[in-house]
Amino acid sequence: MSAGSSGTGSSMCSGTRSLSSKTTGPADVSTDNLTNTMANMKVSDTASRTIETPTVVLFDKATSESHPMEIPGRSGAISTRATLPTIHQNVPARTGSGENIERIFAPPRQTSSTHWTAIAAHVNRSVRLKRQHVRDQAMCERRKISCIAPSGTQSPSSGNTFDQQLDALLPAIVNDLRAAGNLHNANAVRMRAAQQLRKLLSHERSPPVAQVVATGILPDLLRFMLADDLPGLQFETAWCLTNLASDSQSHAKLVIEAGGVPAFIHLLKSNDVQTVEQAVWGLGNVAGTCAEYRDLILAANCLPPLLEILRTTERVSLLRNATWTLSNICRGKPAVDMCQVKEALPIFKSLIYRADREVLIDICWGLSYLTDGENEKIQAVLDLDITKRLVNLLKHESLHVVTPALRTIGNIATGEDHQTQQVLNCGALPALKELLTNEHAAIRKETCWTLSNITAGTTPQVQLVFDEDILPILVKMASTEPFRTQKEAVWALANLTSGASPAHIEHIVSLGVLDPLVCLLGQEDRLAHVILECLDNVLKTGQSAGQRKNPYAK
């Protein structure tokens, strides 16, 4: 990194960034907000899956969830960013092993267009709610209790409200789980009770997590999770614990305190693949809750068995879930210690060449987290020799893959000049040029940010930008794009003027760059400072030409 920069550290709080140094992210993004908002949880059922954040109620399939996020990058030239716009978007369901995986987001505070789709898909995917199929909602066959309706509504068969039915059903479920020991069919009774509890916790709207926790049933569920002679009961109770851990950080904490983490890790070695997948899901929810819990499961040695699953499984849904959990383990602020996850790097190298879209999404997001920070982390990823593959993924048909691949490329460009050069050597500039005209504004903005770090590089690197004929596009974007994208385009142009030769300056001015820069002077103090520096560079170059009148002065 450039002198005086600190990546996502103090420079991010300074409110300034200087020309010709590298930045930590687009100008309106903060890397300080993720710690308390990154929790992504996953709750389970055999038919469909949804994404939920832990601090909001669950919404139906027509709603969406907001989640702040950060964009990492270089420090120096662009040293601070505010926050990204609130993100929301429904994301197409995915299928695997007969299960639809739906992502549901809570209502946003502010959104404009659909260009945050891919980012939202990942921001909110680190905690997942596992849902049940509609046909499974008749959960009370033995007790002849009608299917529970959503909170505040009435069951069509009984007229009872959700809470009234829950008050009747939940104590009976808990009693069966605890007191079935004296019955000759105790295990069958427990199994039915566990299934009923799982279906309650997988309810489409507002599952009664708090009510279930209040019964004190957690220790019993943990005990059943360790019952290796009852794999069916293990699976059902692991499912319950997965959904409990997805509701909120406080409930995840209760699961942890009850011994949930070692229990989930124990199940990673189960002979039942469904149980293994459920344990992977549960650990992903815990890791996605906060950095503290992420570090806790790492300290519990969850990574070796998880990596073994990723190396050996042929089950697509398990591979996807394990990749998602691995991505969560690499996520969060403070950043994960690279020493704790370095043994996972070969898995990243292996999986990034997979064709499966879901695997690519999570692998690329994981790499974006690992490259967000110190140059040593960037180098560790570069040493995997996957930069060419990342550049190729910038052309992927799915925006959900392009977004994290671009983020990773942008992060690498924040490093030392030789690290930026590796990106250029792999043909990044043609791909970035194409993305400048992408239909999604978020992609165009982040591409400009990536280019601003390249134009803050060496003279030969700047020359490559000129050779690729990217400047005319940047000049146009500085005039026509939404303001947030304009700012990034201005940064890219301004960094060019800092170390450009007189011939380069002449070419930039000939493209009409001065007019849009002058027009943006009144927009924002920090941007005005950048523009004034840029104009000063241009005028000084004109003055040094030795002509009677400065050719760039009007």
Residue listed under structure tokens 């898909």: 121
Mean pLDDT of the chain: 77
> Does the pLDDT at position 376 exceed 50?
yes
CB proximity list for 97: less than 8 A, separation 6 or greater: 315, 316, 317
CB distance 390 to 352 below 8 Å: yes
Query: What mean pLDDT do residues 528-541 have?
Result: 89
Cα distances from 477 to residues 18, 198, 439, 482, 492, in angstroms, run 21, 52, 13, 9, 11
- Which stretch of 64-73, 190-199, 229-238, 545-554 has the lowest confidence by average pLDDT? 64-73
Distance separating alpha carbons of residues 71 and 541, to the nearest angstrom = 34
- Return the structure tokens found at 448: 């400009």
CATH superfamily, region 444-554: Leucine-rich Repeat Variant (1.25.10.10)
pLDDT computed for residue 180 by the predictor = 64
Q: What is the pLDDT of residues 259-316, one digit of tens each?
A: 999 999 999 999 999 999 999 999 999 999 999 999 999 999 999 999 999 999 999 9
- Which stretch of 30-34, 151-155, 269-273, 336-340 has the lowest confidence by average pLDDT? 30-34
CB proximity list for 519: less than 8 A, separation 6 or greater: 479
Cα distances from 384 to residues 345, 394, 520, in angstroms, run 8, 18, 42
Cα distances from 301 to residues 261, 264, 283, 287, 311, in angstroms, run 10, 11, 12, 13, 17
Alpha-carbon dihedral of residues 235, 238, 243, 249, nearest 10 degrees?
-170
- How would you classify residue 71: left for phi > 0, otherwise alpha for psi between -120 and 50, otherwise beta? beta
Instruction: Grade residue 543 by pLDDT with cuts at 50, 70 and 90.
Output: confident
Strands 91-96 and 99-103: antiparallel
Omega of the bond leading into 334 within 30 degrees of 0 (cis) = yes
Residue listed under structure tokens 């671009």: 406
pTM over 0.85, yes/no: no
Cα 372–Cα 415–Cα 421 angle in degrees, nearest 5: 130
Cα of first residue to Cα of last residue in the chain, in angstroms, is 37
Query: What mean pLDDT do residues 443-457 have?
Result: 96
pLDDT computed for residue 448 by the predictor = 97
> Does the pLDDT at position 455 exceed 60?
yes
Instruction: Grade residue 408 by pLDDT with cuts at 50, 70 and 90.
Output: very high
- 172 or 116, greater pLDDT: 172
Q: What are phi and psi of 105, to 5 degrees?
A: -120, 145
Distance separating alpha carbons of residues 248 and 311, to the nearest angstrom = 31
> Does the pLDDT at position 81 exceed 70?
no
Cα distances from 232 to residues 75, 176, 188, in angstroms, run 52, 16, 10
